Structure 1
Amino acid sequence: MRSTRTFQRHWLAALLASLVLAACGGSGESPGSSDESVSRGSEVAASQQRASSINSTDAVVQSPASSETGAQANPVHKVSVDRRAAPSPAISVDLGPPEASAIEKMERHNRKGNGLERAKRVQIGFGRDMATTSSRKNLQQMAWNTTASGVQRASLRFSSTGAAGLRLGVLVQALPDDAVLRVYAEGSTDARETTGAHINSSIAANVQADGNSDAARTYWTPTTEGEATVLEIDLPAGRPTASTVFTVPKLMHQTVLAPKASLGQIEQKSECPGVTPDVVCTDPLPPVTNAVGSMDFVDGGLSWVCTGTLIANRGATQQGYFLTANHCINNQSAASSLHVFWFYRSSACDSTTVNPGTVPSFSGADLRYNKTEFSGSLRTPVGTDTSLLDLRDTPPAGTIYAGWSFQREVVGGSANYVGVHSPGGGFLRRSDGRLIGYGSVLNTYVFDGDEYFNVDTSPNPQSPMYQVRWTTGITEGGSSGSGLFAGGTTSTPRIVGQLWGGASSCSNTTASDYFGRFDLAYESGLVNWLNPGYKFVFRFYRPSNGTHFFSAHVPERDAVRASNSALSYEGPVFMVAPAPGNGLSPVYRFVNRQTGAHFYTINESERASVAANLSHVFTNEGIAWYARQANSPASGTVEVYRFFRRSAGTHLYTVSVAERDNIIATRAAEYTYEGVAYLAWAAN
């Protein structure tokens, strides 16, 4: 590589002589002639769809030691009801039976899709207003009793005729961190208990993410079985009862429990017995079963069921990341209300007896990442329908964090993919199928009073969903968010997507379902959580003049895809670091105000020279990302090669050795090879 002084002289002279790049955001030139380079670039992109160690991880089993350590800190836990110190309820609210219209509306929403595409989130409950306990004045006047240990305790009772279970919406204005809240079914000997600190933390997360509203400030209690539930609140001795200010304006009347783990009589919730097999009928039981959880949560004043999957990350420890669908949970308040039921399956094949090892979790989650299910248009196929949650308690011993790899699956092949899901919040069931194409959810329409979706199916590998046709089983209401697995019957299951929905049903078993693609969700944001320390650099190509645009900013990438039809998206080309770190240096991005072209440099002398001599042309946009200096290699790094096109004063960047060698061999009259600009990491 030339000396810095020679390089700067060449650089400044060439740029001042010719700043004529005519590409919006262009940052380089193609090595070939226009359309030929598009073909070559596409082939390179396709060849890069191979898994590598930096962007993959195997499944991990939750160890007993980790689970036991975490269990001590789990914020919602089981306790025995203190009958001797349980006061008579200071307030009792009996709502009687709900209006028939509420049940009819729920059933209408859940009815089958008549062969049309629809999402498969299912409703299991609805809110009922409570005037008595929605008054702050009424609750501030309720009686408090003192237990033998000096604890101050208040008790409230609620009932809703015909409910299979109840959840209480506690709207908190003020609650001491050392307060204790517990809830239990009337007559039960067991309760679920948590602290004011946990509730306050949950509400703070809601308010920060969703804004300061009543919905965000509502804590939804764990579900209790039956028509009546009791809420107890404890305050330490001497704590003024006026320090606790709350109302209970609404309860959730659940028509079924999700799941019915505590009932003596268990129903299999699948509407298609014999069509969608009981997962326990698989011999041996697929290990991936232990990665799947049945979900119960509150959103928009209604109670819902979906399915999710525990997923591994490449950090030092597993973080309890839980993958599901965006149309299931897409806001923090809903995530905070989450219940997850682990190992929820029958005790034997086709039995209605619950597995005695079922473990519930009532602690909620934090929403880390979500992407809509809609693509809007075929030019902006971004709708992977993805949500990544971070569970607030530790999954029980024996659960599995599903593995993954960043690669596009082969569509149209004979490989078998396994789906494990919880229809209706019932026992886990299994479906097997093949990838037959791609799909994009474009928009909704109303037919016969119900909402359905327009789904485009095409062979376009940029489409954000896989089209699946089942060979065994289907999916049903409540299956939304469930994982699709490669190697689903092995000890290293690998998740490739999560269920949006489709048209498959008991009466139409050959209809397609659609799964949001993991690989696209990973490059669009899951990488930040599942592989911390890396992010992708994306590449666009302009066929009209052979230029490229690079960006490591997902919103910028998506905006260009949506608004600039002259640029063709080629996908991620390499990886960089998003933040400073040991051995890393900043890579600066400049934009040419006359042409919109960008260039990048890790060289501090070059940055300073451009700022001093070309500030009237170039604007320093700051640090784009971090990488390693060319003379500081590390495990997994690849060389980023830089060429200078003398006639245009623009640069080409590539990590492809073949592309580099082709330019040197065939385009030396146009391009000057400037060597290795810096070191990054391979995208695949």
Structure 2
Amino acid sequence: MIRHLTALLLAALAGTVLAAGEAPLVVHGEVVVGEKARPVAQLRLGDAATVPVAILAPLQDSEIEPLRKANRKSSAKRLMIGVNRTVESMVGPKAARSAWQPVDGGHAARFSVSSPDAAAVRLAIDLTGTPTDVEMVFLGSAGTELFGPVRVGSIVDRTGPWWSPPTEGATQTVEVFVPAGIDPASVSMRFTRVSHLFTSAGSGFRKRAVDIGDAGSCNKDIACAINPSAAFLTARNATAQMVFNVGAGVGLCTGTLMNDTDTSTQTPWFYSANHCFENEDPPYRTPTQMQVIANTLTTYWFFEAASCGSLATPPIVTRTGGATLVFNSQPRDVLFLRLNDTPPAGATLIGFDANPFVVNETGTDFHHPQGDLKKFSQGSVVGFSTPFTGAVANGYTEIRWTTGTTEGGSSGSGLLAFSGSEYLLRGGLWGGSALCTNPNGTDNFSRFDLVYPQLAPYLGYVPFANFTDLWWGGESQSGWGLNLTQHASNIIFGVWYTYDAAGKRQWIVMPGGQWTSSSTFTGALYITSGPPYNAPFNTANFHITPVGTGTLTFSNANTGTFAFTVNGVSGTKSIVRQPY
């Protein structure tokens, strides 16, 4: 019965905003400190020949048209920048045994796959059966940067083909190293697909072999901001460009690196838009399918103009480790990830504010329209919106720009509010009608205040102990108590066994809440009623009534206080664990 009531409570309360009396959390940002030393990619074969295992036919217009159509179709502002092509022969190193050469510590060989006229390429590699100690280094035909070494055993998900980092030019070369003691003939990796990208980081995402759009002239470079504050310059370093494989192509969006309340760590939480990884129409992807896309994520940092009007950029930093899906919501258009690789030193873990915007409040957005150098937009909130069929009613913040706009590629970028000392995240871009050619159009952003209860277990405070137990007021107060269950997410489900004003026994339930410090948990209180135990359970007779709020404050792992307000009556009780 308790389990059934729990399920009904959670279903009935899913999506509720913070209850009255719960102060929405405001968390400050911080800058990523120096990262750990990274292994240096190097080629073990000097001038050894590369074995071309696949050269694809030139791309046909019929392969490009679906990409053009996708970029024209929706008000959502994901940009498609490439197509996936099949390597028909499913070839790989095992088919070219003569390529292996002895090197220090083992054997190595180079293999290449080409897609003519591509600005960049990446490969889908089937690693089934490949020994975990095998390493790979990647090089493009039009670039000098090496990516790797990537140890097969370090790849989190090898259940499907793994996508290599994008490299510049129409050909990607893979140097494979097999340590001594492993027979190169046992390396069974195969190249199954190639992503043909029409643009690349090396070209500043401006070079295109097909017209997929260019950023409008009304967009404003970060470097063109007039007298930008230190807070403005710090906040823009939380923004990264995203490139990922989705469906039959390669997508581009924008995302924001987020901070949490744990000052002892710098976990790389990453906030963007669900539609970046999602199907445009039902059926929508399962979490498992979304994770496959997250595995392919590459992020680009500090991709912005070095000075106003310049196409030169500071050194761009690329991270290729993919990400772990933590939470996503199609009706709220929220994508919440944990990056698998450490962001570069100097990036910003931006803070957040779980309060809603108010009309006429100013919002700021840092983003990559059409994959261009980082831009900024500013405008005023005009209200709350429901921008697409199936969206949460009034679940989006609608804004009209006075400076700049957004375009394809801007999707997922963070809507920020200035708090007086820093910029704080309040949502992520879905899309809208705003364009350089439509300055009176508006854009719609997911509402962080509505989704924060789902993200609080990751971003909120971490309790200093596990408080799962039966609690009471001690032997002198036998007859009432609290049953607290602290889940893996650290959310507490509490049941208060007590009595009403007439002395009749009563259960008051706290089905969730938030940690406002490492020792304090606050949640809404409810009373439930339903069918009797000796009758069939009928959900139509189950009712939930909000009655107030409760706050648990723990002084140590075994003692604390329980403060409550129930139907306007407030009080505080000392509590201890009930011994057995």
TM-score by length of 2: 0.75
Mark the CA change 1:364 to 1:148 in structure 2 (over 3 Å): closer, same or farther: same
- Relative to structure 1, the CA distance from residue 663 to residue 317 in structure 2 (aligned partners, 3 Å threshold; closer, same or farther) is closer
Quote the offset at 1:25 in angstroms.
6.7
2:367 to 421, 425, 428: 421
Change (3 A) 1:50 1:230: same
Q: Which residue does the alignment assign to 1:94?
A: 55
CA distance in 2, matches of 1:228, 1:627: 51
Q: Which residue of 2 aligns with 1:120?
A: 77
Do the aligned partners of 1:579 and 1:626 also contact (CA within 8 Å) in 2? Answer: no
- Cα distance in 2 for partners of 1:634, 1:107 equals 50
Residues 156 and 141 (structure 1 numbering): CA distance in 2 closer, same or farther, change over 3 Å?
A: closer
In structure 2, relative to structure 1, the CA distance for the partners of 1:363 and 1:82 (3 Å cut) is same
Q: Deviations over 1:205-240 (max 9, x none)?
A: xx5xxxxxxxxx111111111111211211001202
1:252 to 195, 216, 222: 195
Compare the two structures and name the one with the higher helix fraction.
1
2:122 to 159, 163, 167: 167
Letter in 1 for 2:364: V
- Assess if the C-alpha contact under 8 Å between 1:182 and 1:194 holds in 2: yes
Aligned residues: 501
Counterpart mapping for 1:435-450 below 5 A: 435-443=381-389
Question: 1:109 is matched with which residue: 70, 76, 85?
Answer: 70
CA-CA distance at 1:196 after TM superposition: 3.2
Shift, 1:252, TM fit: 0.3
How far apart are 1:581 and its partner, in Å?
6.0
What amino acid maps onto 1:281 in structure 2? C
User: How far apart in 1 are the matches of 2:391 and 2:382?
Assistant: 15
| Partner amino acid, structure 2, of 1:471 | T
Does 2:357 match 1:409?
Answer: yes
CA deviation after TM superposition for structure 1 residue 194, in Å:
3.1
2:237 is paired with a residue of what secondary structure? helix
Deviation at 1:154, TM superposition (A): 2.4
Question: For residues 209-608 of structure 1, what are the structure 2 equivalents within 5 Å?
Answer: 217-258=160-201, 260=203, 271-285=214-228, 286=232, 287-315=234-262, 316-329=264-277, 331-355=290-314, 357-372=315-330, 383-410=331-358, 412-413=359-360, 415-443=361-389, 463-487=394-418, 492-523=422-453, 525-533=454-462, 580=467, 587-588=482-483, 601-602=495-496
**2:292 alignment partner, SS class:** helix
CA shift in 2, pair 1:161/1:650, >3 Å: closer
Check conservation: 1:587, 1:624, Cα contact below 8 A: no
C-alpha distance after superposition, 1:279-313 (max 9, x if no partner) = 11013442211110011111113111000000101
Alpha-carbon shift at residue 427 of structure 1 (Å): 0.3
- 2:271–2:334 CA contact under 8 A, matched in 1: yes
* Deviations, residues 618-659 of structure 1 (Å, cap 9, x unaligned): 9x999966999xxxx9964669889999xx999974228999
| 1:122–1:89 Cα change, 3 Å | same
The amino acid of 2:455's aligned partner reads L
| 297-306 vs 234-243, which moves further | 234-243
Q: 1:634 to 1:385 in 2, by over 3 A?
A: closer
Q: Distance in 1 between matches of 2:199 and 2:302?
A: 19
Q: Residues 26 and 319 (structure 1 numbering): CA distance in 2 closer, same or farther, change over 3 Å?
A: closer
How many Å apart are 1:522 and its aligned residue? Answer: 0.9
What's the CA shift for 1:185? 1.3
- What is the rounded CA distance, in whole Å, between the counterparts of 1:118 and 1:651 in structure 2? 40
* 1:507-537 deviation digits (Å, cap 9, x = unpaired): 11211111000111111x1111111548xxx
SS of 1:467's equivalent in the other structure is strand
Alignment check: 8 A CA contact 1:642 1:677 kept: no
1:129 equivalenced with 2:86 (yes/no): yes
Query: How far apart in 2 are the matches of 1:192 and 1:308?
Result: 22
* TM-score (norm. length: structure 1): 0.64
Deviation at 1:442, TM superposition (A): 4.0
1:423/1:429 contact within 8 Å kept: yes
Q: 1:635 to 1:271 in 2, by over 3 A?
A: same
Equivalence for 1:157: 112
> 1:63 pairs with 33, 47, 53, which one?
33
* Cα drift, residue 201 of structure 1: 1.9
Instruction: From the CA coordinates, give the structure whose radius of gyration is larger.
Output: 1
Given that residues 259 and 341 in structure 1 are in contact (C-alpha distance below 8 angstroms), is that contact kept between their aligned partners in structure 2?
no
> C-alpha separation between the residues in 1 aligned to 2:65 and 2:235?
36
Q: CA RMSD in A?
A: 4.3
Question: Cα deviations across residues 28-57 of structure 1 (Å, max 9, x unaligned)?
Answer: xxxxxxxxxxxxxx9x98975854xxx221
CA contact (8 A) 2:131 2:152 kept: yes
- Pairwise CA distance, 1:390: 0.9
Deviation of 1:263 after TM superposition, in Å, equals 9.8
CA distance in 1, matches of 2:347, 2:408: 24
Contact 1:49-1:407 at 8 Å conserved across structures:
no
Structure 2 CA distance for aligned equivalents of residues 60 and 274 of structure 1: 33
Q: Which runs of 5+ in 1 are unaligned?
A: 1-23, 28-41, 208-216, 373-382, 444-453, 457-461, 535-576, 591-598, 607-613, 665-672, 680-684
Give the match's secondary structure for 1:147: strand
Deviation sequence 1:550-581 (CA, Å, 0-9, x none): xxxxxxxxxxxxxxxxxxxxxxxxxxx99646
Query: CA–CA distance in 1 between the matches of 2:395 and 2:130?
Result: 44
Tell me, in whole angstroms, the C-alpha distance in 2 between the residues paired with 1:170 and 1:659.
57
TM-aligned CA deviation for residue 600 of structure 1: 6.4
8 Å Cα contact 1:186/1:229 also seen in 2? yes
Cα gap change, 1:404 to 1:654, in 2 (>3 Å): same
Shift of 1:429: 0.6
Indicate how the Cα distance of structure 1 residues 264 and 352 shifts in structure 2: closer, same or farther if over 3 A, else same: same
Partner residue of 2:539? none
Aligned amino acid, residue 246 of structure 1: M
